[in-house]
């Protein structure tokens, strides 16, 4: 009986929520991206992924994304040395196996001379065979000089993202 009691807390301690699983995929992919670990980075995407970066470039499938990272991005910037400062994430489950992660981050420049830029990314993740993978992305850079027409804009439901 004592062994059963000792076992219960251990099993609960090792369980992580679906939200934590989804955020872990995004965080680990971001780390692999900055470390330019191509195989690890690509492993977080579905085969039929659709990747769109903050410049509006669309890449349609994991193999094409691999070639883009290897042949262009990592080749052009062999020492990314950027620093992502994560400023907030939200997770919403659209279905039991599809999750939307909205993430904001500040990206500090390589040379420390340029001002940081802000990027927001939506990650749509799909659970395939029990594993969460990034299915679609959409990134954009909000412009600080854009002043929205406040009469029409809904208050931001994720205010922590911009703090």
Give SS3 for 152. coil
What pTM does this model have?
Answer: 0.76
Tens of pLDDT, residue by residue, the chain (163 residues) = 444 444 444 444 457 899 999 999 999 998 898 888 999 999 999 999 999 987 788 999 999 999 998 888 888 877 665 566 667 789 999 999 999 999 988 777 666 667 777 788 999 999 999 999 999 999 888 776 666 666 655 555 544 444 3
Q: Which has the closest alpha carbon to 158: 108, 104, 79?
A: 104
Sign of CA dihedral 87, 108, 53, 141: positive
């Amino acid at each position: 009986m004592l062994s059963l009691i000792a076992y219960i807390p251990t099993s609960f301690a090792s369980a992580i929520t679906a939200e934590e699983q989804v955020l872990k995929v995004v965080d680990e992919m971001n780390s692999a991206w900055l470390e330019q670990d191509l195989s690890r980075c690509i492993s977080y995407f579905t085969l039929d992924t659709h990747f769109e970066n903050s410049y509006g470039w669309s890449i349609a499938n994991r193999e094409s994304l691999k070639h883009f990272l290897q042949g262009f991005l990592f080749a052009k910037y062999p020492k990314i040395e950027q620093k992502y400062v994560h400023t907030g994430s939200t997770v919403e489950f659209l279905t039991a196996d599809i999750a939307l992660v909205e993430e904001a981050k500040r990206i500090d420049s390589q040379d420390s001379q340029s001002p940081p830029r802000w990027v927001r990314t939506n990650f749509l993740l799909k659970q395939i065979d029990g594993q969460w993978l990034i299915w679609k992305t959409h990134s954009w850079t909000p412009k600080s000089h854009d002043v929205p027409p406040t009469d029409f804009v809904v208050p931001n439901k994720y205010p922590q993202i911009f703090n």
